[in-house]
Chain A
Amino acid sequence: MSPEKMVTMANQIATFFKTQPGDDQLDRFAAHINDFWEPRMRRQLLDHIAAGGAGLEPLVIEAAGRISEPVE
């Protein structure tokens, strides 16, 4: 998918979890990505983060380590 679309989608999810109370927003964001994003989408996101993560919410970049590496 286009990088803009992926960034929008990731940011939308981050925006929701950012508003949630507690101190586990990073975990909940990453869990959502792990639960619903197909491996090639996660690959694209992780690659985008590795390339600097242009346009992504800070929460997305911060949660990168918690996003599972796609399993082939």
Chain B
Amino acid sequence: MKDFIIPWNDADMGTPAKTGAPVTLTIDGAAVTVPEGTSVMRAAYEAGITVPKLCATDSVEAFGSCRLCVVEIEGRRGTPASCTTPVAEGMVVHTQSSKVQKIRKGVMELYISDHPLDCLTCSANGDCELQDMAGAVGLRDVRYEPGDNHFDPTGTGALSMADAKRREGDGNFRYIPKDESNPYFTYDPAKCIVCSRCVRACEEVQGTFALTIEGRGFDSRVSAGGAMDDFLSSDCVSCGACVQACPTATLQEKSVAELGTPTRSVVTTCAYCGVGCSFKAELNGDQLVRMVPYKNGKANRGHSCVKGRFAYGYTEHKDRILSPMIRESIDEPWQEVSWEEAIGFAAKRLKSLQKTYGRRSVGVITSSRCTNEETYLVQKLARGVFMNNNTDTCARVCHSPTGYGLGQTFGTSAGTQDFDSVEHTDVVIVIGANPTDGHPVFASRLKKRLRQGAKLIVIDPRRIDLVKSAHIKAAHHLPLRPGTNVAVVTALAHVIVTEGLMDEAFIRERCDWNEFLEYAEFVSAERHSPEATEMLTGVPAETLREAARTFARGGNGAIYYGLGVTEHSQGSTTVMGIANLAMLTGNIGRPGVGVNPLRGQNNVQGSCDMGSFPHELPGYRHVKLPEVRETFEAAWGVTIDPEPGLRIPNMLDAAVDGTFKGLYCQGEDILQSDPDTKHVAAGLAAMECVIVHDLFLNETANYAHVFLPGSSFLEKDGTFTNAERRINMVRRVMAPKAGYADWEVTQLLAQAMGADWDYAHPREIMAEIASTTPSFAGVTYERINELGSIQWPCNDSAPEGTPLMHVGGFVRGKGRLMVTEYVATDEKTGPRFPLLLTTGRILSQYNVGAQTRRTANSTWHEEDVLEIHPHDAEVRGVKEGDFVKLASRSGETTLRATLTDRVSTGVVYTTFHHPDTQANVITTDFSDWATNCPEYKVTAVQVSPSNGPTDWQERYNEQAEQSRRILPAAE
């Protein structure tokens, strides 16, 4: 098998990197120069010398507890710990001497005296630092007699667990059995050396503070949560940082215990959220043993969350469909066929539909979960083979307003910063986002900065975890009524302008001054004051004023936002309002500031970049522009339709009208994820050829005529682009289980429809993207491999990419302050539907749950529940855990209620991870004025007690079951 190992160094250097003036010292005769503040241990590593260590690891600050890393320093007394001793100019260090060797051996002898001698059968065998250090210090004997210890359950002096199993004794009160409660890793206190690396990782890296060291001296034990807690019931979020930090088998992945230590690794990119963490896929042969966050990944810097780290089991799940399938109509069972037959069937149907109903009667939906190369090919299929612009992507229903709003104000449809930028931020606004659940690795980086003293303003109807949790607290929480974002954001601008808190120099230099004057006049009007909007938004005027002052005066100000901003009737207007705030306060164009959309899916940014939208060719250039069409016409040898195509909701409307008949939907489940399920179902049912290309028989497939098996991110090469515009490499670690990578399937379909495509590798697709799209001009696979990742734009003027945008000037020239008048949504509460439903996500589940529901992540979230305020529950006779009916003008569904004051009175909240709940039966067809992004975040509803599923849910499940029947393959 081809060797995919990337030889980049990610060894543990003992203590974190520092920045500072250069300091030169001598270690074991070698001169080395490192930044001021660096530890002697890390400096030694830089000089090629490894100092023995146990309690130090470079993901956390040095602790100095194990005393194994002691060294001698000329002119200093004693033997200082190299991990906690900073370098000094001219220092002369000796890491090996008979004195330190003797100390280290003594330390190791003590450690081993309270450690079971089960090395051969230990799950960390070959990957244990305790074992390595025993070897490194030359420990050859343990002279201590068996005595008080933590590992022998029998209390009879057994030296190993294996030995203890064969003995009987009175027991050992110090022995604590293994905690297997977490589905992904175990905690075995018998093997713990109390180095505190796990506790520090939980605090410093993850920021959850779930772990602590309980007791003192010999009684010290790692403990999760309170006295009665195990790992699962504690605050632990299963991010894996502690497992990563543990030097022994104390915290160990269950997969390693089961499958053995991995022997090779491939650096790749997580396929969950838009943070785009780099991981090492560690394998034996082509069997994945574990995913480990990659230290040199620039988005995650060695951290991970429960999804990327552990929830990869879906790639091997029995529900995966590995054979192509077809059927004449959707009431028939599926029939397994060859690839050739399935592709031929699909191509014939699409061609015949176009012949009968016209060129524009078919279209595609590209996937924000697939690679850039795959997405590029799917939109090319629409434009270059179907000969229309009917291409859209799931960004329609999440961040399309970001594209429009930032395009209008700044000139680019993307976030302005990299994630490292948060380390320089002084005041952060988080609006309509819940990073600890939706973008956990970014949240950890944000929380780290907050613990260093940065201030936080949360604008959200719910009291999300960031408002107050361990060691962090928001300076201001603005609990606005759903649907009033524009009023709140404009009121913030009102305070900034009327109180003279704006950065006039910045505005004069970087924005159009006349536009600013018009804007200032608009925003200064009394109707935008916090006092005037308080009744509407529910945000106390004084709180809002203080928040505005904090943001404007607080130093580097950064705004992070999510779908709570975009998924509204005025989503695009709020995005413009956010851009206004950044421009007014001069917070654009340097580290620590900026406007940062937190992207939902792994490749939402990329799918937008790749021309998935029906009005734009790759690189955000409108199809009406002849010079842009010419570029692609020359490259593809076709004539491109100059008219914009249909967006997803328009496709469904046209389908119901009978003018849109065929759809190729790659890696998206519109029936579950899109609003107003009944309308989506009606649209799909009206089509004559629905081709679903996915890993699983998803909900949309209930209405499909062709099913093409997809390949997981482990099974193909390509690139994902994360929320920072960072193009990360996805590397194939195993062969596609169904025979083809997704880009190959699209190519087969194009070929069957007469196209002359002939790509042999995704690298060639990227070359075509680079040759046609200016912001990708400098991107090649070789360059990405060389640099690790590239943030676009990458071209001659930015050959290594662009971490920060709009430095020195906006992409569109002058920044444009836009007038943002608040317009109330038509979705209003009334006597029939008096509550407002808003929707969101939870940490353990991802999007529609197709992936995470097929992993042990469901341990944390088995079903969607409705959060309702105790007052609203009481007047309706709803108690904790009751089944309730949730009804809107679109439809009704049932789910269980949970009573919490995280939501205000008048507001209820749920997630949309489970198809049984069908939260989108409730959501309506209202959408953002500019982009048709659905208004998921505001639906007027009523909640009432219920006995069980609604008729709709039962009918739906029945139809789904019927539709998923598969006939055995023909002999």
Contacts and interface: CB of A to CB of B under 8 A. Distances in A.
A70 B518 CA distance: 35
A38 B573 contact: no
B175 interface: no
B819 A20 contact: yes
Given A9-B932, A16-B573, A19-B821, A35 B615 contact: yes
Interface stretch (B162-170, B423-431, B645-653, B963-971): B645-653
Nearest to A1: B653
A63 B818 CA distance: 22
Given A12-B569, A35-B624, A21 B653 contact: no
A27 to B, nearest CB: 15
Interface residues on A, range: 20 to 34
B643 A70 contact: yes
Contacts of A9: 927, 929, 932
Contacts of A21: 518, 522, 819
A36 B927 CA distance: 14
Contacts of B931: 36
Interface in A22-49: 32, 34-41
Contact of A16 (B360, B390, B653, B929): B929
B356 to A, nearest CB: 16
Contacts of B678: none
A6 to B, nearest CB: 9
Secondary structure at the B interface, as helix, strand, loop or mixed, is: loop
Contacts, number: 65
B827 to A, nearest CB: 11
Interface string B516-529: 00100010000000
A53 B819 CA distance: 28
A2 B644 CA distance: 20
B755 interface: no
B522 A38 contact: no
A36 B569 contact: no
B890 interface: no
B569 A1 contact: no
Contact of B659 (A16, A20, A40): A40
Interface in B380-397: 389-390
A24 to B, nearest CB: 13
Nearest to A44: B657
Contacts of B654: 1, 38, 40
A61 interface: no
A56 to B, nearest CB: 14
A13 interface: yes
A65 to B, nearest CB: 19
A15 B569 CA distance: 12
Contact of A15 (B360, B644, B645, B929): B929
A35 B614 CA distance: 10
A51 interface: no
B390 to A, nearest CB: 8
Contacts of A36: 615, 644, 647, 930-931
B861 interface: no
Interface string B627-653: 000000000000000111111001001
Closest 5 CB pairs between A and B? A1-B653, A12-B929, A19-B821, A21-B518, A38-B646
18 contacts: A1-B653, A1-B656, A5-B925, A8-B926, A15-B823, A16-B929, A19-B819, A21-B518, A21-B522, A32-B930, A36-B647, A36-B930, A38-B644, A38-B645, A38-B646, A41-B646, A71-B642, A71-B643
Given A1-B657, A16-B821, A38-B646, 5 more contacts: A12-B823, A21-B522, A32-B930, A35-B615, A38-B390
Interface of A: 1-2, 5, 8-9, 12-13, 15-16, 19-21, 32, 34-41, 70-71
